[in-house]
Amino acid sequence: MKRNESRRLYRRAQEVIPGGVNSPVRAFRGVGGSPVFFASANGPHLFDVDGNRYIDYVASWGPMIQGHGFEPVVSAIRDQAAKSLGFGAPTQRETEMAEKIVDTVPGVEKVRLVNSGTEATMSAIRLARGFTSRDLVIKFDGCYHGHSDALLAKAGSGVLTLGLPNSPGVPESVARHTLTLPFNDAEAVRTAFSQYGDQVAAVIMEPVAGNMGCIPPLPGFLEAVRGITADDGALLIFDEVMTGFRIARGGAQALYGVSADLITLGKVIGGGLPVGAFGGRADVMDHIAPEGPVYQAGTLSGNPLATTAGLTLLNTLDDAFYARLDAQTEALTKGLKELADRNNVAVRINSVCGMFSMFFTSASRVASFEDVSRCDVARYNRFFHAMLDAGVYFAPSAFESAFVSGAHTETEIDATLAAAEHAFARLD
């Protein structure tokens, strides 16, 4: 495929945008080469500025769960835009969105809408500290919770891709209040609480890690963390910015039967537009201003475009939709694994309904950041470019999840597997 116009636009962008991109993972530094500039999308397909078509497994990093250009959402946005782009004042749609989340997500009694996942997790941490009057926060290696100062210790996503486990600009005085532990290691959590339990405000975690690749929780891990935090008076925060409304109607809490005290949401609840939310127990949420003393605000929070798009999308997601999405994800990942085995390529594939990751490793499992770190990134990069040249767009990083949408049919899955067969055969 020729991508001359993409390369020209990238050179132009580098003159006025740091690195030529507005989010680091877009720069292709993790896989080499230069990024693809896209012009349009429809259903499961992307179209770049050079006229090439791709089967899309990035899905705008998750929210396009019904595919691109989903007509009900597009129509709803168009109708709302004709009325107003925003008020900076209350609207009925904000309440309807909050009601939808409360009715659907287990354990959530009140919700505050914000503008991004980073803002949601930052606010949830502040709330947890204000509610408990404690300072220490526990997170897990490789899990990414946005780029706020307190949460950039051993983060995942673009931080892993760029090889920066910590970020300059984060004061030591802030970083020392964050303790990082191995994901899927309940004993490490018990040990940490035995030493610091009365100082821990919250444990924040992706219940299914998605920013070091898709890493599901091992059996009993979520339950153990839930019990430990409850026993020691700390709050449990599930960061479901990626998994919320994607892996199940009620997110990871519904899928695994474990309830957190607070959750953060994003991606899908905006229907493709920027949005975020945090919510949980009413007694905790009532500590947020103006009801309580913990301050949080946002001029554009709950704007009518995002809430309209999100509500329209969420109302199309029923149990039958998730059953189909799970089946399509299973068909694709099973096919990829069979092709890899046939070509003697050592691959481990992790998946949960609608999201998956391929790890080039002979290990029997990939369940932690340490496991991920031992995988063959160079081989993933070669596979990525082979697929890209064949018209299949995976994440430009070995440390990201792939996403299946409701718009992917057997036609796209068969075409993806055909491309993968050639890609595996070319790997040395």
Alpha-carbon Rg for the chain, nearest whole angstrom, is 21
Distance between CA atoms of residues 23 and 20, nearest Å: 9
Q: Please say if 239 is a catalytic residue.
A: yes
Among candidate residues 54, 144, 256, 380, the one labeled active-site is 144
Residue type, 282: A
Distance between CA atoms of residues 51 and 286, nearest Å: 51
Q: Please say if 389 is a catalytic residue.
A: no
Among candidate residues 10, 56, 267, 376, the one labeled active-site is 267
Q: Please say if 267 is a catalytic residue.
A: yes
Contact 340, 424 (CB under 8 A): yes
Question: Residue 40: beta bridge partners?
Answer: 47
Question: Residue 179: beta bridge partners?
Answer: 138
Among candidate residues 48, 56, 141, 239, the one labeled active-site is 239
Residues belonging to the active site: 144, 239, 267
